[in-house]
Structure 1
Amino acid sequence: MKRRSLLAAMAALPCPAFAQSWTPERPIRLIIPFAAGGSTDVTARLVAQALGERLGQPVVAENRPGAGGNIGAEAAARAAPDGHTLFMAVSGILAANKALYKTLPFDPLRDFAPISQVAVIPNLIVVNPELPVRDLPGLIAYAKARPGQVNYGSAGSGTSLHLASALFAAKAGIALVHIPYRGGAPAATDLMAGKIQMIASPLVEVIGAVQAGQLRPLAVTTPHRSALLPEVPTVGETIPGFAIPLWNGIVAPAGTPIPAVNRLSAEIGAALRSDALLRRLAEQGSEPAPSTPEDFANFIRAEIPRWAEIVRVSGATAD
């Protein structure tokens, strides 16, 4: 998102001064559907701290990983809709999983009240430096010569790491083996240890390892190069038209009172406009994308068919 467009979008958000009719009565629980240390966890905790300071109540992070985020999503959907339970959702859970799983223990549209989108995050294809490839064409050639012998990790079936890698393999015409983990951080740890060979990870989870020379970056999955790694090409520069960015946002259980939804959305938007949080997200390569509840709901509706097509083309399955 261009800076001018971002500022215009932020200006359109509700002002906290007009959303004061609801106040939390106790600490708020923020359910995070992946393991600690991953992209979703890092961003959620930054937002939780800033939101808690604005609300005057702690926002307590609770990791509930497993099943591609569905375990945490089900827990959030079944929580009391009183404004004191929030869920840090991602594109896989609210959009892709509907096409990946035959049955879900929740409905992404019916069971949640959208509050605000939070950020857009590029995925970065990285390999272990011991792998004898230095760029994306080299990885494709290496994998074509070894069908079914190159594996990749993910944060679980149906996550953006899974779908980005599966779509890349499908578009490149190569056969890769999927190794699901319970979060992106453990997948990155095993990649550095040489137990797997590749991941398409949210940039925030691997930027430190890349800068330390522990992982080799090959390409970003977004339409444009990352400002943090301008020398790293996009996948689209090798495979024209390829783009699969990750997004996240905060929702509450369906039935959460509208005053609570509006107050929470306004405060999240204000936090994302703060210099401190803007700087922290930029350091991770993330682009803040706050929205109104209505805009986030419309965005999710539009994303479900788009991700269904990504699932279809990639051939990815989760059941």
Structure 2
Amino acid sequence: MVKGAAYLILALLILGAVLFALVSERARSLAAIDRRLAGLTLPGAAPARVSAAISVPERIAPLLAQAQLEVTMRAVRILAVAGLGLVVTVLLLAGPAFALAVLLGLPMAALSWLRGRARKRVDALTEALPLYLDGVRQLQAVGNSLSQALSRALADASPVVRSFFDTAARRLEMGAPVAETMQQLADRLQVPEVSMIAAAIRTNLRYGGSIGAVFTNLAHILRERLRIRRDLVAATSEAKVSSRVLIAMPLLAMVGLVMMNPAYLDFFIADPRGQKLSLLAVGLEGAGILIIRRMLRLEF
């Protein structure tokens, strides 16, 4: 029963991957036809550059923007072929139950890695934003406009700030409205600190006042948020270490048992009862990891 359900799910997932490849290939063909028609209607125009980026779900787009990653069709194909090869290898060596566990675990592992990278990049950005705001305020004090100050302050800003704000700076240099440009950046990143900057600029441009004083207060608020975050991290460090020990103990125990008795896994691979217990153990371990991570998540 377990083998039949596992094979059915694997077949459906592989069929879905094939359908996705066919649909994406058709979309690429239609885009190529549109580019050719555009070249025929405008013979003097330069050929449009093919964009390799593809659309992603709205819940994943902010994570990709925060992690500064761009999903391309080539990358999707490489990852899909590598994942499918791994699943087929596990299917041949360990059976359908383990192959199904690998197939379901790969997206979860990729999402966890993406969230970790995005968190590191955002933490580096929030730590460097107060100094960037100080630079913007100083440039405004010597006579630069808000648009010029936001662009020119990037020269002395941290590399992570430049990497996040370069697109907005180019838009500002081409004459785009400041409030609209910063709001687009805040909507794309969905980082609270960037949203605070965009809201402060939008409010100041609408109602007037000293933007220098606003940036001074905002930099102070961001520094206070960083201080509180460091205090929270220090206060929960012991709990984080304990959670890692609890997560690693079952895995280390399993490795130790296998090293002492290599035939220990035969029951969990060949016997249907062992396969059910293996899936149950993997599910409980994954649920425990998610619950512990949720308990230790700091949001303020």
Both structures adopt the same fold (TM-score exceeding 0.5)? no
**Length-normalised TM-score, structure 1:** 0.24
**Length-normalised TM-score, structure 2:** 0.25
Using CA pairs under 8 Å that are at least 6 residues apart, name the structure with larger relative contact order, 1 or 2.
1
Question: Hey, which of these two has a bigger chunk of helix by percent?
Answer: 2
